[in-house]
Amino acid sequence: MSRESLEREIVVEATPSEVWGKLIDLPTVAAWLPFLHSITEQERLSCYEGVLEDRVGPFSLKADLLITVVELDEPKSIAIKAVGEDRQVRSRITIDAAVHLHDQGNGSTEVRISGTYEVTGKVATLGAGLIRSKARKMVEQFCISAEEGLI
């Protein structure tokens, strides 16, 4: 099993309402997650489906994800839980993530991104270090894309 928590903070030159509008726009956020494909909205701000697809060392991971909004405080915060399984490599993925917005009072917003992920099964057993490295890169890539996209 591979489990880790990650946290990042970015400050963007936009008001919280401007940030929130982009944060809940599915095509915008999907563009920040190049490893997540075929995202569909089942119920707005409640339930989504997607496919996590990426390479982790010698493994090609492809997991259908069910993504549910578990906490919503418009326009301040949103938390999601994503659960999926790659049956080919017999691995399960669970992601808990949250985004909190804090008005800086000067037309800028602090965006706090936090979450945990857990990977179990064959991939986790054989490549825990690779998974940690890949997860850090994914989060960093998301933060860079979000920071650019939220301006």
| CATH classification code of 2-149 | 3.30.530.20
Tell which wins on pLDDT, 141 or 100.
100
| pLDDT score for 1 | 65
Res. 10: pLDDT tops 70:
yes
The model carries a pTM of 0.88
* The pair of three-digit structure tokens given for residue 137, joined into one six-digit string: 């890169």
Tell me the per-residue pLDDT of 86-104, one tens digit each, with 9 for 90 and over: 878 788 889 999 999 999 9
* CA–CA gap between residue 10 and residue 80 (Å, rounded): 19
| pLDDT score for 43 | 96
Residues near 125 by beta carbon (within 8 Å), at least 6 away in sequence = none
* CA–CA gap between residue 47 and residue 41 (Å, rounded): 6
Residues paired with residue 1 on neighbouring β-strands, in sequence order:
none
Residue 122: phi and psi, rounded to 5, are -60, -45
* CA–CA gap between residue 56 and residue 76 (Å, rounded): 34
* The pair of three-digit structure tokens given for residue 55, joined into one six-digit string: 């390479």
Q: What is the pLDDT confidence band of residue 142, given thresholds at 50, 70 and 90?
A: confident
